[in-house]
Homo-oligomer: A and B are copies of this chain.
């Protein structure tokens, strides 16, 4: 069975940059390629768009297949289409990025991936195709978006402390923030709810636990 066209068609894929915060650093999910070009190299999870499948559905499907994560913030990043970016044939890829909370990581190797793992953004291995460019652009976008939206809340688990949230900002921005100004700013956003609960964690005063008021909603602020 082959599919015939009157003029040449490129293949189209989606790739997903899945970010999380783990062990005090920003990490991306990579899979080790089981075959094809760049065999054994690490690459972004992604794959071919099915002929009746929406682009975002494709990205969501692959995200679910790789990580079991659903219902996350998913945004189109950019479409990469340099003619020689795949040695097999012309492949145009629509890149998305997603943020998954610390507590919902269950990556397992999928069908055509030999292995799967989280890597610190600032010490990535050599990646397949132009995936290093894609990760770099996603990281820039994340950093920019952090400053004028509530996107960072997507990283947070069900309940969390303000200290933990501040740490997330600091890790992504790569610089320390002032505690009181940070809290003032978050209070102004009015997007957190005090659960009334506390977390004792070490030999110090316990911290209040908060939840996100509208999980999944990303507000533009400032």
Q: Mark A75-86, 1 if CB is under 8 A from B, else 0.
A: 010110111000
- Cβ–Cβ < 8 Å partners of A82 in chain B: 54
Q: Given A81-B94, A94-B79: A51 and B8 within 8 A (CB)? A: yes
Please give the count of copies of this chain that the complex contains: 2
Interface of A is mostly: loop
The CA-CA distance from A1 to B54 in the complex, in Å, is: 30
Q: Looking at A1, A5, A48, A52, which has the most chain B CB atoms within 10 Å of its CB?
A: A5
Q: How many residues of A contact B (CB 8 A)?
A: 28
- Cβ–Cβ < 8 Å partners of A7 in chain B: 3, 48
Q: Given A78-B76, A79-B79: A90 and B52 within 8 A (CB)? A: yes
Q: Which residues of A contact B (CB under 8 A)?
A: 1-12, 48-49, 51-55, 76, 78-79, 81-83, 90, 92, 94
Can you pick out 18 interface pairs between chain A and chain B where the beta carbons lie within 8 Å of each other?
A2-B4, A3-B6, A3-B8, A3-B9, A5-B9, A9-B9, A9-B10, A9-B11, A9-B12, A10-B49, A12-B81, A51-B90, A52-B90, A53-B83, A54-B82, A55-B79, A55-B81, A81-B94
